Amino acid sequence: MPGHLKIILVKPRNPDNIGAAARAMANFGLTELALAAPFESDWKEAADAWRREASVSAIDAMDVVNSAKVYGSVPEAAADCALLLGTSSLHRAKPGRDVMLLSDAAAYISGVRGKTGILFGSEKTGLTKEDLSFCSAIINIPTQEKQPSMNLGQSVAVLAYELAARGRAPKPSVQREERGPNLMETERAVKQICGRLQLEAGPHWGGEAQARAIRQGLLDARLTRNAMNALNLLLNGSKRKEL
């Protein structure tokens, strides 16, 4: 069975959907909810409504709602995660990341030592290419082509059931390495590399598309802390800095 799971909602818009996600988490024993860059007016409305009226969508899940934390960005929300996975219906664009079916996700996560973050996109757009570039891989819930996308609360419920309730993942033969650099540390390296590219090759280098490619390359490399320290030493051109 996978270890600790953290549900991260990116730019959620609808308070009822946030409540439905919290209720789905409570159904299957998940307790840690994070919101990355939520719409402030909607979040204030949600917080006021839930604390005042115990919204029907979050019934019996107020402990999840009350303990939810708000972050300004995906890297901040996932800073304590050893692994970050995105979710996508894949019907709008090619993600540029490895994709697994939901049925394979439990086995993939089971070797992780530390917390796994699961990223869900905004109700309006899903996860963007930028959001997905922070993820090591993408989980796809197989749905009918005629109706490929799912409601946010439903998506959280299906994933929470599969990862937290089934508990039937096979034991991996080789465990993943101890937790390496987190997303905030990786993002600092991405910005440093982009800055060096612009300095060495001109201002047309180091743009958003290149930053995504560099970020994905660093994530796919699964750098250890020692490797990240070595990279920082090269980038900074100074004495080794401990992360």
Chain-centre distance for alpha carbon 117: 5
The Cα 27–Cα 6 span in angstroms is 15
**Is-contact 4 32, C-beta < 8 A?**
yes
Between CA 181 and CA 66 the distance in angstroms is 29
Give me the tens of pLDDT residue by residue for the chain, a chain 243 residues long: 456 999 999 998 888 888 889 889 999 999 999 999 887 655 566 566 555 543 545 566 678 888 889 899 999 999 999 999 999 887 766 767 889 989 899 999 988 889 999 999 998 888 998 999 999 999 988 888 788 788 899 999 999 999 987 654 445 444 555 567 888 889 999 999 998 888 888 888 878 888 999 998 998 888 888 888 888 888 887 434 444
d(CA 88, CA 14): 19
Residues 137 and 97 sit within 8 Å (Cβ to Cβ)? yes
Angle of CA points 70, 74, 77, to nearest 5°? 45
- Which residues, at least 6 apart from 235, have a Cβ–Cβ distance to it below 8 Å? 189, 192, 193, 196
* pTM for the model: 0.75
C-alpha distances (whole Å) from 127 to each of 22, 80, 143, 176 are: 19, 20, 17, 26
**Structure-block tokens of residue 203:** 């201002």
Please name the residues in contact with 129: beta carbons below 8 A apart, sequence gap of 6 or more.
93, 95, 96, 212
Say how many C-beta atoms besides its own lie within 10 A of residue 12's C-beta: 23
> What's the CA gap between 104 and 217, in Å, rounded?
23
Classify 5-165 by CATH class.
alpha beta
Q: Closest Cα to residue 125, out of 242, 2, 10? A: 10
Residues in the chain, how many? 243
The answer to whether the beta carbons of residues 139 and 85 sit under 8 Å apart is yes
Domain edges within the chain: 5-165, 183-236
In 3D space, the residue among 10, 37, 28, 25 whose CA is nearest the CA of residue 135 turns out to be 10
Residue 214's φ and ψ, nearest 5 degrees, are -65, -45
Residue type, 140: N
Furthest-apart CA atoms within the chain: distance in Å? 58
